[in-house]
Amino acid sequence: MNSLSFGSLARRPEAGSIVSLLLVVAFFVIFGGVQIDRFLGAASWVNLAANLGIVALPVGLLMIAGELDISIGAMIPAGSMSVAIVSGYYGLPIELGIAVALGLGVIVGLINGLLTIKTSVPSLIITLGSLVAMQGLVLAGSVLLTGSAGVALKAPEWAKFLFGHFFGGSYQVLILWWLALTAIYVFFIHFSRFGNWIFAMGGDKDSARNAGIPTDRMTILLFVLSSTSASFVGMCGAILFNSAQVSGGMNYIFNTIVSVVVGGVLLTGGFGSIVGIFFGAITFAVVTQGIYFTDIDRNWSSLIIGVMLLLAVLMNNSFRQFALNYAPRKKK
């Protein structure tokens, strides 16, 4: 079995995202006059890809499992505000602030997950509810507690070292988290049996349950993972920039979904890969940040993203067809 042939690569879910990344880079180099070495070494797109990627991975898993979580848009400011209020405004130990930020993510994830399994309401609607509710809670809560919508935070050295400092000039430490998390996800999704469960859930939840997969527990776990990842990213942002604002985070909803879809996850669930989502986030970051390195007006980046998204959806469909029709032909 020649598992590295072009054919077998093209059938993999991540093929589309790698192709689109190469196309975007080629486009920037050819038409935008980008100096490729300066561009590759730039921190801006890597930082964005890391922030986005950490959230996009669990959101993508939810989509593979046939669910969606848009409440992450509120969980990013929720994570940053809670650590800032607890450890900045009240001056309590940073450990407590971190615990509150992550704990909030766990609680919201539990609520999203429980509502999804207990009701037949689509998770898009459920998480729309928790998105709006959390937004209100964060804004009203911070005004009530601190009297303002922005809070400063002075984190101790060790916390900054772990969660919020720049290395090699302007690379966020979050990049290392992103790489490590990606490796962990790759292991669990593509090498352990849990990944099989998630793909089966996205294929047909009832059959998966009948096959003995704890679908309810898995669904809750994935929601907890996504909202906790979002509050983690928010928390790291607050520690890095020494302050937190209630606004922001909303564009993460669209950006993660774009990354996931460009990364080859089927909107209908049951198909996708961690490597694909990883490259999806990179592609998104390269388009939106890379455009600053080109002679192209940056306002065009939205157009590029839109076209890319549409192409990705079409391509995902044909990749899926491609993968389904694959029958090995014995040529020898």
Partner 1 sequence: MTDTHPVLELRNVNKSFGPIDVLHDISLKVKAGEVLCLLGDNGAGKSTLIKTLAGVHKPTTGEIWMDGGRVSFDRPKDAADRGIATVHQFGGTFPLMTIGRSFFVGVEPTKGWGPFKIFDRKKANAVAVKAVQSFGITRIDDGDRLIGGLSGGERQSLAIARAVHFGARVLILDEPTAALGVKQASHVLRIVLEAKKRGIAVIFITHQVTHAMAVGDHFAVLIRGALAANFMRGEKSREEITDLMAGGEALADLDAYMESHDGHAPDLVS
Residues contributing to the site for partner 1 (CB under 8 A)? 1, 187, 191-193, 195-197, 199-200, 202-204, 207-213, 266, 270-271, 320, 323-328
In the numeric block, the tokens 């998105």 are attached to 131
Type of residue numbered 141: G
Q: How far is CA 116 from CA 67, 110, 133, 137, 238, in A?
A: 9, 10, 16, 21, 30
CB of 113 to partner 1, least distance (A): 20
Give the tokens for residue 238.
């607050």
CB of 219 to partner 1, least distance (A): 15
165 vs 209, beta carbon nearer partner 1 = 209
206 vs 297, beta carbon nearer partner 1 = 206
CB of 277 to partner 1, least distance (A): 16
The dihedrals phi and psi of 170, each to the nearest 5 degrees, come to: -130, 30
Cα–Cα distance, 132 to 137 (Å, whole number) = 9
170 vs 207, beta carbon nearer partner 1 = 207
CB of 209 to partner 1, least distance (A): 8
166 vs 187, beta carbon nearer partner 1 = 187
Q: Which of 115, 66, 54 is nearest to 252 (CA)?
A: 54
User: What is the Cα Rg of the chain in Å?
Assistant: 20
DSSP string, 17-64: HHHHHHHHHHHHHHHH---HHHHHT-HHHHHHHHHHHHHHHHHHHHHH
Helix (H, G, I), strand (E, B) or coil at 270: coil
DSSP string, 176-230: HHHHHHHHHHHIIIIISHHHHHHHHHHH-HHHHHHTT--HHHHHHHHHHHHHHHH
CB of 269 to partner 1, least distance (A): 9
CB of 60 to partner 1, least distance (A): 15
247 vs 318, beta carbon nearer partner 1 = 318
CB neighbours of residue 331 within 10 Å: 4
53 vs 269, beta carbon nearer partner 1 = 269
129 vs 203, beta carbon nearer partner 1 = 203
CB of 21 to partner 1, least distance (A): 23
